Amino acid sequence: MAHNPNTTNSAEQEMEVLISRLTALSKLGLEMTRHCIDVTEAIPRVIRAQVDAQVDAILEGAANASVEPAPGPTWYSTPAPTPAQMEARYPPGINDDIPHYVVCIGRVPGLYTSSQDAEDQVRGVPDMSCRKKDTRAEGLRWYREQHTLGKTMRVSEVPPPASVASPSRHYVTLGTVNVSVRID
């Protein structure tokens, strides 16, 4: 069988073309790898610059701007029962000599024989007032003293009817603002 020199030449030329293409692709691959490395190294610098700019803006703005507090409940007050009403509500009885928890400023001012019941009336209430007394009579006496000093009131998160509301007392609880910045 005879060997055709044209076929060999053609195959060698085709091989050279393929090798030159592979060489070009390898160079492109190396160039892409270098670009990827450059970008990977640049990302932390760019992020750091952005974070620094944001922190600077916060610090500069904090000196000139006020921060709005997180919204909290609005508390409305209405007059608390008078000492006479309290005495009528809690007449002498079988629980006279056990400890009583007196709520002067809370959801429902009154005398409670359970600390949990009293706590339910003052939990979350701003400027709440609750005190443990040894007897019903001591509790009523303390309530009378607090009422005389103007330190008794019923509070609610729900606005009272306009005829009952006390415009001189309006409580608003403010939330907190926490700013945390971490720079590694």
Residue 83's pLDDT band (cuts 50, 70, 90): very high
Enter the pTM of the model. 0.49
Residue 140 has pLDDT above 50, yes or no: yes
Residue 180's pLDDT band (cuts 50, 70, 90): very low
Percentages of the chain per state (helix, strand, coil), in multiples of 5: 50, 15, 35
Residue 68 has pLDDT above 50, yes or no: yes
User: What is the pLDDT averaged over residues 100-129?
Assistant: 91
User: What is the pLDDT averaged over residues 130-141?
Assistant: 94
User: E-strand spans in the chain?
Assistant: 74-79, 100-106, 110-112, 129-133, 153-156, 170-172
- CA-to-CA distance for 76 and 157, rounded, in angstroms? 6
- The dihedral of CA 21, 23, 26, 27: what is its sign? negative
Neighbours of 140 (CB within 10 A): 19
State the pLDDT at residue 62: 54
Higher-pLDDT residue of 84, 55: 84
Lowest-pLDDT range of 4-13, 73-82, 85-94: 4-13
User: What is the pLDDT averaged over residues 125-138?
Assistant: 91
Residue 46 has pLDDT above 90, yes or no: no
| Cβ atoms of residues 171 and 75 within 8 Å | yes
Share of the chain above pLDDT 70, in %: 72
Residue 127 has pLDDT above 50, yes or no: yes
State the pLDDT at residue 177: 36
Residue 45, classed as helix, strand or coil, is helix
